[in-house]
Amino acid sequence: MESKLRILNIREVEQILSMPDVIRLVEKAFGEKGRKKVQMPPKSYLYLSKFNGDLRVMPAYLEELNQVGVKMVNAHLDNRSKYRLPTVLASIMLFNPETGAPISLMDGTYITAMRTAAASAVAAKYLARKDSKILAVIGAGYQSLRQVEALREIMKLESVRIFDIDSDRAEQLAILLYDKFDITAIPFASVEEVVCGSDVLVTVTPSRKPIVKNGWITEGMHISAVGADAPGKEELEPELLKRSRIVIDDWKQGSHGGEINVPLSSGIIGKSNIYADIGEIVAGIKPGRTSNKEITIFDTTGLAIQDVITAWHVYEVAEKKGIGIELDQLYC
């Protein structure tokens, strides 16, 4: 059996992926998890404190699909200011499940951005009110652009509100959304202003203290908490979690580093406060939103199954179209 390795750079991955495809793939991955057809250990972390960053290793195997791979991803907060590099850089390796031989190495940075946003879209499909039209986004980085791109596939967007502590970044995101997607977005001067009156709220910040107050959230809102992806991070006031239907992507990861990690460790909420894993909802084991009055929160930490299923799609398309570089047998 031949063992060839296909290598794909970020531009080649971008050429293949579309947001509707990624949303479809991520929804399928969540369903496989809900049916307990995946193997996925929690992320392993190396903390590179003197460089203000970390390195994470994320393996997964989707058993029914015969898709196995691992993502290596960092989060270095000084990258943009010091090195003009993205804060998040990732690589994904895919393996032949029959032999264990590596079959593809590809950029995972674009996949990470797309699948993270796609998860919010899948959650909104099941958890947001069907008449949701006003989207609020806190944080104006690159991921926020992708969040809006994904959610416009699910929502009938009438307006997008943006807040960032750097008002210039909020303005730049508004311009970019109009240029790329013909979406009119309005920057707001405060978190409270951007939150109040919105139907769906996305938080995409590295905050380690709550920035969204319980009192601002009204009945029927849906929140996608994206920023908390490591121990000690939180964006939502804990009292808000106590009055909401909380859906997580994974218990082990979420309790360790998701939005629920701080309230859990301090005893404000317990495991009984968690309504469901998004996989259970996608698989039909539990219902999603059941009334227009309930507040729903999706606590997303990002799962390796999202990366692997998306990367396999990229690999299969690249194989058919001859995209990327193919190296001959590695072990001969």
Catalytic residues: 71
Could you tell me the CA-to-CA distances from 141 to 78, 166, 172, 181, 296 in Å, in that order?
Answer: 14, 10, 10, 16, 24
Q: Which of 321, 318, 304 is nearest to 13 (CA)?
A: 318
Q: How far apart are CA 125 and CA 33, in angstroms?
A: 18
Q: How far apart are CA 137 and CA 153, in angstroms?
A: 16
* CA distance from start to end of the chain: 11
Q: Which two tokens stand for residue 177?
A: 């959304």
Q: How far apart are CA 180 and CA 174, in angstroms?
A: 10
Burial of 134 (0-12, 13-18, 19+ CB in 10 A): middle
> For 184, what's the count of Cα atoms within 13 Å in the CB-facing half-sphere?
3
Q: What are the phi and psi torsion angles at 83 (to 5°)? A: -125, 0
The owner of tokens 């808000």 is 240
